[in-house]
Structure 1
Amino acid sequence: MPQAGLKAARLKTRVMKQHLKAIASALKLRHAVLFVGAGVSMSVGLPSWKTLIDHMLKDLDLDRSVMKGQDVTYQTIAECYRLDHGNIDALCEWMRKSWCVSPERIRKSALHRLIVSLDFPIIYTTNYDSNLEVAYDVHGKPHAKVSHARDMATAPAGVTQIIKYHGDFDDVETLVLTETDYFNRLTFDSPLDVRFRSDVLGAAPAPYLEHLAEIRLR
């Protein structure tokens, strides 16, 4: 390896070690904030976004080729679904039933057990499902679910707060799913957004658990 490349590799390794040391320290002090994405739920069998898109397209009698459009996303399809049906209640009910995982499967999940054992004070998740909450239940750890501003006021002190940043199946109105929902979220002025900025500025964020293939459990 050329000298310049070797120096760059050493610098990268040193920086990575510094980051890991900072994260370890934050975890020990309960100052770390965890961000959980779809990969964590997929690890226990939940379907991918492709399954959701295919369901909406079938319901709307649209060919999957429409997804080739440059400006067409799953949020666009969800917006069409809402306009066609008047709401997304039926879609949410389908997701609630299709994305249901048994507590026993979550109990056996090494990843969910690890998340619970690390005792994060705050977890942000963009997942609509309740797998994280179930993980805390089956492992006997107290927690508080936060999907509304009112939940922040009533959450007990000292327990892990699971903040459903894109909403929760139990309350359709909180879901961030359609194009309009995402545009509204981009204003970043909701109570959860204000809380998010405060938490991130005051804590050491842990890695965003999105792509399970990138996670290595030791």
Structure 2
Amino acid sequence: MKATVPSELKKLYRQGRVVPFVGAGASMSLEWITSVSAAAQKGPSWSEMVSEACRIMGYSDPELLRYRGTDLQILEFFGQKMGNFAPLTNWLVRKFDVDDSAIAGSKVHTALAALINSRTYYTTNYDDLLERALRLGGRQVKVVARERDMGGTEPVEVVKFHGDFNNPDLMVFSEAHYYKRLRYDSPLDLKLRSDLLNRVALFVGYSFSDVNIGLLFDQLNELLKSLPDSDNGKRAYIVVNNPSDFEYTLFKRRNIEIIPTYGDKRTETLFEVLEEIVA
């Protein structure tokens, strides 16, 4: 069944009023071959990253720590035990060793870059796949991770809401990091509130299967509540594959409207949604 994009979202896109918010699912949709392995590689999920953190600390079975606490608490434990998150960051950098050809061949990243009426993108991903895709699509990009990055003349901004490999001190990993961000008073929080004035957010690559996502959406919903009503009463949309009453109920509470897709080919259906927005 082909997804149907709400007509009001397509209208807002034509008016340049859609702000894409890109999550881990976009990076996980990309497959590539590395120089050391003939097997296809994918970007790691949040759960895979936490499991690797457990192994770095010497726990061969990550479920032993998951029995003790949440993923965010495990990462808090990691930061305390290891002294910093450099070992985990280094692992992520190696996992995202991706050639330009693979990014250019990614339907999802190509479709994101083709949203030419969107001039500001947000992402919670640490990798650089989104900005590279935009540049490969011929667009000039300014990466914003902290206050001093704001401004400039580049026509497209990619806001790294949880930091990135070039700003490891800003990477949001642990429970303590989230508590700090939930104050809603960082320069990026203030920028997001400003960027969403008379605009709507479009979430792609997100689900409630990752433990940090509920906290992120609560944070964004808190910011959105302080904004005036949009023209159509909507503040955010999210693409969800095979949604159930579970997703509809939880996203409705956060004032986020679901764009449903169906079937097992998540990459294909997400691509179709992005393509239909600009049609």
TM-score scaled by length of structure 2: 0.66
1:118 to partner: Cα distance: 1.1
Higher RCO (CA-CA < 8 Å; seq separation 6+): 1
2:19 pairs with 1:33: yes
Tell whether the 8 Å contact from 1:36 to 1:123 is kept in structure 2 after alignment: yes
> Identity over aligned residues, as a percent?
29
State whether structure 2 residue 156 is matched by structure 1 residue 125.
Answer: no
- Find the counterpart in structure 2 of residue 8 from structure 1: none
RMSD between superposed Cα atoms in Å: 2.0
Residue segments in structure 2 that go unaligned for 5+ positions in a row: 31-41, 208-240, 242-265
Deviations 1:31-82 (A, max 9, x none): 111111100000012121222122111121233222134xx22221221111
Distance 1:86 1:142 in 2: 37
2:45 maps to 1:59: no
Check the 8 A contact 1:46/1:100 in 2, yes or no: no
Structure 1 position 196 matched with structure 2 position 218: no
1:23 to 6, 9, 15: 9
Instruction: Give 1:66's aligned amino acid.
Output: L
1:138 to 126, 136, 139: 136
Q: Which has the larger radius of gyration?
A: 1
1:129 Cα deviation after fit: 0.3
Q: Which moved more, 1:198-207 or 1:133-142?
A: 198-207
Asked if the contact 1:31–1:121 (Cα under 8 Å) also holds between the matched residues in 2, the reply is no
Q: Which one of the candidate residues 142, 158, 162 is aligned to 2:158? A: 162
Q: Quick check: 1:116–1:136 contact (8 Å CA) kept in 2?
A: yes
Residue aligning to 2:112:
115
Q: Distance in 2 between matches of 1:99 and 1:167?
A: 15
Aligned AA (2:131): E
Matched residue, 1:205? 201
Q: What stretches of structure 1 of length at least 5 have no aligned partner?
A: 1-15
User: Aligned residues, how many?
Assistant: 198
Provide, for residues 157-194 of structure 1, a one-character-per-residue CA deviation record: whole Å limited to 9, x for no partner.
5x111110011111111101111111100101001001
Match of 2:270 in 1: 215
> 1:208 and 1:139 mapped to 2: Cα distance?
19
Deviations, residues 100-123 of structure 1 (Å, cap 9, x unaligned): 222111100111111111121111
Which residues of 2 match residues 40-79 of structure 1 at below 5 A?
40-44=26-30, 45-62=42-59, 63-64=61-62, 65-69=64-68, 72-79=69-76
Letter of the structure 2 residue corresponding to residue 74 of structure 1: D
Indicate the larger mover: 185-194 or 134-143: 134-143
Alpha-carbon separation, structure 2, partners of 1:210 and 1:168: 18
How much has 1:216 moved relative to structure 2?
5.2
Q: 3-state DSSP class of the match of 1:167?
A: coil
Q: Please give the secondary structure, in 1, of the residue aligned with 2:66.
A: helix
The TM-score with structure 1 as length reference comes to 0.83
